[in-house]
Chains A and B, each alone.
Chain A
Amino acid sequence: MFDRLVDTLRGIGHRVVDRVWRLGFAARFFLQSLACSGDSFRRFPLVIKEIYFTGVLSLIIIMVSALFVGMVLGLQGYNTLQKYGSSEAVGVLVALSLVRELGPVVTALLFAGRAGTAITAEIGLMKATEQLSAMEMMAINPIARVVAPRFWAGVISMPLLASLFSLTGVFGGYLVTVQMIGVDEGAFWSQMQAGVDFREDIVNGIIKSMVFGVACTIIALFEGYEAPPTAEGVSRATTRTVVNSSLAVLGLDFVLTSFMIST
């Protein structure tokens, strides 16, 4: 009885210490990739290649989901607003919810699923097949050669993807409400332009997506770099990437929003 209690306590303590150790290692990993980013900017073709894999190849899923998100927002918004006789306000509703929240957040979630998992699996496999160790043997810093270019590719891609998401979403809302339902086109755009502020809404949305880009990419890279070099380890690391990135994005979104609203 007493032994089992001690074992349980020991288990909890071990887990806590393990988490703290991982957090510290993640912070050091983050700083080291920042310190090595000078090298990756000198060899910019490496970053361009990674932007192709994380950004360009994510375009289809981002734009298609944005179109549908915008269309659903338009339908739902119209359905509720027409009860109050203000169906023209559907434009500002669609634009504000996309630019402020859905654009950055949904893009980050899709990015974690589409690009984050790929990064984790790639680096995890590199580690399992000892490619990273081989690089170190050749006096090449794997953080500068493998991690930093992917980090910057993610940070550059995310705001661009989020902007495209918001714009495509607004277009989707326009298609449904103006072209299908027949809301007045002039009122749709003018209400939107009166309601959306450049500094307060659009720039804040871009700042959000940059923060999400840093968070998602560094989590994906870290999980891959830290994955146990087995098939099971890589698969678990990929799962953890999606879970941790999604939680980080939603948590950070609350923190950032509360900062932005209070000012």
Chain B
Amino acid sequence: MERTTLDMWVGFFVAAGIAATIGLAMKVGNLTSSNLGDTYSLKAAFENIGGLKPTAPVKSAGVVVGRVADIRFDDKTYEAQVTINVSQRYHFPKDTIATIYTSGLLGEQYIGLEAGGDSVMLATGDKIGKTQDAVVLEKLISQFLYNKASETDSKDKKKAE
């Protein structure tokens, strides 16, 4: 079997196709950024998780340190049990606060970890005690409107007096 120029063109084509796939994965996709290495899992309970989804990022000081692994509803405490995988490289103190934030006004939701001052570190399977729920926009708006309404009410009363 001899080599022909045709083989060369086909080889070039196949190589270009595979390179395009790898290029898509690296430059367009998130294959490079999702690499956290070995992880350990932590738990946190929230009263309201808003629109948090599995594989959402876990950030501390804006840096991605882990990902949300699992979300499930606990019918004893009526809270959402969120399991997160944090990279083995990072350790957080026992009194770390987990908060659900939204990136931008309408962006995706993520968990922010704010480190406390405790000297004991969280280990695999530990539960983060202090959590803060997602901000629900509707609640915020209704609270604002209610406050406004009560303000004007009291003003009216004052005028009447």
Contact = CB atoms under 8 A, between A and B. Distances in A.
B21 A194 contact: no
Contacts of B33: 193-194
B13 interface: yes
A212 to B, nearest CB: 15
A189 B27 CA distance: 8
A45 B7 CA distance: 8
A164 B29 contact: no
B24 A197 contact: no
B17 A160 contact: yes
Contact of A167 (B12, B23, B30): B23
A98 to B, nearest CB: 9
A148 B30 CA distance: 37
A194 B13 CA distance: 29
Interface in B19-45: 20-21, 23-25, 27-34
A254 interface: no
Contacts of A202: 21, 24-25, 28-29
Interface string A45-57: 1001101100110
Contacts of A189: 27
Given A48-B7, A196-B30, A198-B30, A166 B13 contact: no
- Interface footprint category on B: 20 to 34
Given A197-B30, A198-B29, A202-B29, A167 B24 contact: yes
Interface of B: 1, 6-7, 9-10, 12-14, 16-18, 20-21, 23-25, 27-34
Given A193-B30, A196-B29, A198-B31, A163 B24 contact: yes
B64 to A, nearest CB: 10
* Secondary structure class of chain A's binding surface, majority of residues: helix
B6 A48 contact: yes
Interface string A155-169: 011011101101100
19 contacts: A48-B10, A49-B6, A51-B10, A52-B6, A52-B10, A56-B10, A160-B18, A161-B17, A163-B18, A164-B16, A164-B20, A166-B28, A170-B27, A170-B28, A193-B33, A196-B29, A198-B30, A201-B29, A202-B24
